[in-house]
């Protein structure tokens, strides 16, 4: 039977950069994110005796041997759980083409967990699905629940999972994503995180501060205080990039354009537009503001040269099944 799932990507306000257990992908600190309605992965899975091996394709994109192997290993984990012997065909489509440079591992593994576990009739709770997605790629566990999501750090496979702290309707926030480069990450995040843990002198202090900032962020969320929320987002973004830049060899994800946008964000705030930035493992900048300020932010953004694409995201619902299959 073919099963298809859709999963949103997410932007972390307190980030995940480093593990305390590599095999289980247990994070060194808890994190909090917003799911993105315009950046999604759709995945169709079919397990069947007609398949001689697992196959994975991304429509309109190439898949490396490493990516094939990572998906196939992941499917084997599910096969074991379901006591199934069938191989699978997996076809995915990202709403954001690879040329936008956004990592698809969060939405990708979330969609795969939901579709593959359902195809194997595993009937998992949201918590179990989040745990399963985490084992594929850490940030994927935050793409299972709806809206605004906390990934509880935990200290075992069963206690480290994500859950919704607020539905998408709780706060009309925007993530205005500015794509400035389609350049692919040269160092995969898993490897980058290990290197940071081993070599960055700021690795530990950042984790300690992220742990202190998380409860403060949650308090600011209760009040829907964008200024408090935004300042925490920027703090942890800068902290994480300091860790990356002080890794050996250094991970410089920013481009000159990234810094130009950061400096503009400060200016725009001085001019009265409440907007804050978040940056993941790449040069692209996520601008966080309230829905009422979307227009004024876009007007400011349009004056900056060299932005390839702008994606305006609202808070999204989490991973779910749909009836339109990709093959």
Residue number, 194 or 326, with CB nearest to ligand DP6:
194
Residue number, 3 or 58, with CB nearest to ligand DP6:
58
Q: Which residue in this structure is represented by tokens 């593959």?
A: 116
CA-CA distance, 26 to 235, in Å (whole number)?
Answer: 23
Residues contacting residue 228 through CB under 8 Å, at least 6 positions apart: 216, 219, 220
- Quote the least distance from Cβ 301 to ligand DP6, whole Å: 22
- Quote the least distance from Cβ 281 to ligand DP6, whole Å: 4
Q: Are 226 and 8 in contact (CB under 8 A)?
A: no
Residue number, 87 or 161, with CB nearest to ligand DP6:
161
- Residue ranges in 8-154 assigned as alpha helix (H): 65-82, 105-119, 126-136
Q: How far is CA 107 from CA 40, 167, 235, in A?
A: 6, 18, 25
Q: Using alpha carbons only, how large is the chain's radius of gyration in Å?
A: 19
Q: How many CB atoms lie within 10 A of CB 48?
A: 12
Q: Which residues of 219-255 are buried (b: 16+ CB within 10 A; e: fewer)?
A: ebbeeeebeebbebbbbbbebbbbbbebbeeebebbb
Residue number, 31 or 247, with CB nearest to ligand DP6:
31
Residue number, 11 or 90, with CB nearest to ligand DP6:
11
- Quote the least distance from Cβ 16 to ligand DP6, whole Å: 4
**Closest CB to ligand DP6: residue number:** 138
- Quote the least distance from Cβ 273 to ligand DP6, whole Å: 26
- Quote the least distance from Cβ 190 to ligand DP6, whole Å: 3
The 3-state DSSP class for residue 47 equals strand
Chain residues binding ligand DP6 by CB under 6 A are: 12, 15-17, 25, 31, 103, 105, 137-139, 189-190, 193, 280-281
Q: How many CB atoms lie within 10 A of CB 321?
A: 12
Residue number, 247 or 293, with CB nearest to ligand DP6:
247
- Quote the least distance from Cβ 71 to ligand DP6, whole Å: 13
DSSP code for 258: H
- Quote the least distance from Cβ 144 to ligand DP6, whole Å: 13
Residue number, 284 or 293, with CB nearest to ligand DP6:
284
């Amino acid at each position: 039977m073919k099963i298809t799932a859709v999963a949103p990507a997410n932007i972390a306000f307190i980030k995940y950069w480093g593990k305390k257990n590599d095999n289980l992908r247990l994070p060194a600190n808890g994190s909090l994110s917003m799911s993105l309605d315009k950046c999604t992965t759709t995945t169709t899975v079919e397990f069947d005796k007609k398949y001689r091996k697992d196959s994975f394709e991304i429509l309109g994109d190439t898949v490396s041997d490493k990516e094939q192997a990572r998906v196939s290993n992941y499917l084997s984990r599910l096969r074991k759980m379901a006591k199934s012997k069938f191989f699978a065909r997996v076809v995915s489509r990202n709403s954001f083409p690879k040329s936008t440079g956004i990592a698809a591992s969060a939405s990708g593994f979330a969609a795969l967990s939901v579709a593959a576990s359902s195809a194997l009739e595993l009937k998992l709770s949201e918590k179990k699905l989040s745990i399963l997605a985490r084992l594929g790629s850490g940030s994927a566990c935050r793409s299972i629940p709806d809206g605004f999501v906390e990934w509880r750090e935990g200290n075992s496979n069963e206690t480290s999972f994500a859950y919704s702290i607020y539905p998408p309707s709780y706060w009309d926030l925007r993530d205005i994503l500015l794509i400035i480069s389609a350049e692919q990450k040269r160092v995969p995040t898993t490897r980058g995180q290990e290197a940071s843990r081993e070599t960055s002198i700021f690795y530990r202090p950042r984790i300690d501060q992220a742990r202190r900032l998380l409860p403060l962020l949650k308090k600011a969320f209760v009040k829907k205080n964008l200024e408090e929320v935004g300042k925490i987002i920027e703090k942890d973004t800068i902290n994480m990039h300091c860790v990356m830049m002080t890794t050996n060899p250094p991970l410089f994800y920013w481009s000159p354009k990234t810094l130009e946008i950061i400096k503009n964000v400060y200016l725009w705030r001085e001019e009265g537009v409440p907007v804050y930035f978040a940056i993941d493992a790449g040069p692209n900048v996520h601008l966080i503001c309230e829905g009422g300020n979307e227009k004024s932010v876009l007007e400011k953004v349009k004056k900056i040269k060299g932005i390839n694409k702008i994606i305006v995201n609202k808070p999204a619902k989490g991973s779910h099944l749909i009836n339109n299959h990709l093959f």
